[in-house]
Amino acid sequence: MFGMILLTGRGRPQRKLRFPRKTFIQGLLFLLFLFLFSPASAKTYQGQVVKVFDGDTFLACIEGQEEFIRLREIDAPEMASGKQEGQEPWGRKARDFALSRLKHRKVRLETENRDERDAYGRLLAYVFIGESFLNREMIASGNAFFYRAAAPGRYTARLEGAENLAREKGLGVWDRTQGLKEHPRDFRTRHQRDESFFSPWRRFPERDKKNRSFEEYPVPGQKIVGNRRTMVYHLPGSRSAARVSPKNRVFFDSAEEAEKAGFRRSRSYP
C-alpha cells in the first residue's frame, strides 16, 4: 500500500496521478510530428550558380555535382517557349531579376525536409545570397507569386506577408493597370501544359549528362517506388518514380506498406 501513495510534507496521502490513454497517445503523436517536421530535418548546402533559366529555377554546383534548384514556395510567370505564348513581359522580367541577383554568385541553400524535390527532380530550396533572401525578394518585388506548398515551411509566413505587401503597393505582377491577370498555375492549366513545357531548363543540353538523378529507369508493374536514401516513396506512373536510382529502390504494393516501413509520400510541386 505504501508503494501506491506519495506522502506530502504534512504526512497526508496524495493520490498517484494517472493520465488518460487518449491524452498519452495524442502526446506521442505530437512528439512524432515535431520530430518529422522540425527544422532539425532540414539541411543547408553551399553552392555556386552556373546558369539561371527563369524566375524560379537555376543550376548550381554543389560539392562538385550540378543540381537544378527550384525556389521553394514561389511561382514565377512563365516565359514564352518557341511559338508557345508565355506570360510576357513578366516571364522575362522575373528571369532578369533573378539573374541580376544570382549571376556568378555563391549561394546558401536551405531545404525544408533534407533532400526535398519536386516532380521533376529539382531540389526545393530557400535561397540566400549573403543575408538577402531571394525567395522573399522575388515575391516582394512583384516578380513572383507566393505558392502555398503542401507542407508549410519555416519561412511560409514571411513569404505570404511579402506577397500581401506587394499586392497592396501594386508592384510588378500586381500593377493595377498592366499587372498579370492570371496566376502561372492557372495559365498552365488553361494551356493544358505542365511547368516543364515552358521552362528552358528542361531543354538544357547538359542536363542528362551531368545529373544522374534525371535518368529514368523502368518500373515493373504498378509498384510504388521507395527511395532508401531519402525515405520518400513515389506513386506508380509518376516521373519521379522512374528517376529513383536502381541502387536506392525499394518496391511496395501499397502506400500503407511503404508508410509502415517508415517512408513518406513524395510531395509534388508545380
Digit-coded pLDDT (tens) for 18-70: 656 666 666 666 666 555 555 446 789 999 999 999 999 999 998 888 889 99
Looking at the chain, list the stretches that DSSP marks H as alpha helix, in order from N- to C-terminal side: 21-37, 90-102, 134-140, 156-169, 184-190, 195-198, 207-210, 239-242, 255-260
Residues in contact with 97: Cβ distance below 8 Å, sequence separation at least 6, in sequence order? 55, 137, 138, 141, 143
Q: Tell me, what's the pLDDT at 41?
A: 66
Q: Cell numbers for 4, please give them.
A: 501506491
Catalytic residue among 66, 78, 116, 137: 78
Catalytic residue among 66, 70, 72, 110: 70
Q: So where are the chain's domains? A: 40-210, 215-265
131 annotated active-site:
no
The residue ranking higher by pLDDT, 20 or 85, is 85
Catalytic residue among 72, 95, 122, 188: 122
Q: Supply the pTM of this predicted model.
A: 0.62
Q: 67, exposed or middle or buried, with CB in 10 Å at 0-12, 13-18, 19+?
A: buried
Q: Cell numbers for 54, please give them.
A: 527563369
176 annotated active-site:
no
In three-state secondary structure terms, 177 is coil
Q: Tell me, what's the pLDDT at 6?
A: 46
Strand partners, 60: 49, 67
Q: Inform me whether the pLDDT recorded for 256 exceeds 80.
A: yes
* Summary mean pLDDT of the chain: 80
Strands of the 249-252 sheet, one edge to the other: 249-252, 224-227, 232-234, 264-265
Judged by average pLDDT, the poorest of 75-84, 132-141, 172-181, 195-204 is 195-204
Q: Which backbone phi and psi does 162 adopt, to 5 degrees?
A: -65, -40
Alpha-carbon span 138 to 128, nearest angstrom: 12
Q: Tell me, what's the pLDDT at 197?
A: 55
Q: What is the mean pLDDT of residues 202-211?
A: 46
The residue ranking higher by pLDDT, 153 or 5, is 153
Q: Tell me, what's the pLDDT at 243?
A: 77
The DSSP secondary-structure symbol of 18 reads -
70 annotated active-site:
yes
Alpha-carbon span 29 to 21, nearest angstrom: 12
Fold of 40-210: OB fold (Dihydrolipoamide Acetyltransferase, E2P) (2.40.50)
Residues in contact with 1: Cβ distance below 8 Å, sequence separation at least 6, in sequence order? none
* 241 confidence band (pLDDT: 50, 70, 90): confident
Q: Tell me, what's the pLDDT at 150?
A: 72
